Structure 1
């Protein structure tokens, strides 16, 4: 009697790369959930804070950003928002872009743009807060 063969649900490419169902996707999935949960209270705080100062001058707005509590929450908002954006766009690119090189190029471009925008926004907040 022959031994039963064990079939794998992984694709041949997945077996070669060593990637399975739980190797990379779960971390990405969890980070999407963590950043979305973090963005809920941060977005509510930011919207209500900005809604309370509709007629503020430039000096009042920069003074508001300069408060340590507000600066820290703004930096946390920026980090979570840009991380969440990059991860979400990565999923869209991986799902809909065909061609390995096009996919890789778009992923690098999106992550690069998100990092540059996050750095620019964070430096602007820090520059105002340190004054």
Structure 2
């Protein structure tokens, strides 16, 4: 028999109050990806037989380069959110879990910077 109250025993075992924000972020990015994916698919189909000069002219338009950048960054953020959930749910060793979370975030950050620079380089023509 414990002298600790039921509230005292339950403290620290419940919700960290962070899951709702993560859940909402996943849903919002998924909703944003619907029109962005449709735009991307239509654009890729339209550019399927284009040469590099045509593609570069298409990328030079601010709307196209902005939407492409928004699509790439939204996909990467959505992927990072999903990967985080998978790692947290299925990696049991705490040290491996932390290493996997940090590693995945670093890889996503690297990809975001690399893709942003690549898109801007083609769009601006530097």
TM-score normalised by L of structure 1? 0.85
Find the aligned partners of 2:10 and 2:52 in 1 and give their Cα distance: 58
2:59 to 44, 59, 65: 65
1:106 maps onto 2:106 in alignment: no
Q: Report the secondary structure of 1:55's partner residue.
A: coil
Q: Which runs of 5+ in 2 are unaligned?
A: none
Deviation above 2 Å: which 4+ runs of structure 1? 5-8
Find the aligned partners of 1:27 and 1:38 in 2 and give their Cα distance: 16
Report deviation, 1:22.
Answer: 5.7
**Aligned residue number for residue 83 of structure 1:** 77
Count of residue pairs brought into register by the alignment: 122
TM-score normalised by L of structure 2? 0.88
Q: Deviations over 1:47-93 (max 9, x none)?
A: 01110121110111122112100011011111111000001000000
State how 1:1-40 maps to structure 2 within 5 Å. Answer: 7-8=6-7, 14=12, 20-21=14-15, 23-40=17-34
Deviates more, 1:95-104 or 1:55-64: 55-64
Aligned-residue CA RMSD (Å): 2.0
Q: Which runs of 5+ in 1 are unaligned?
A: none
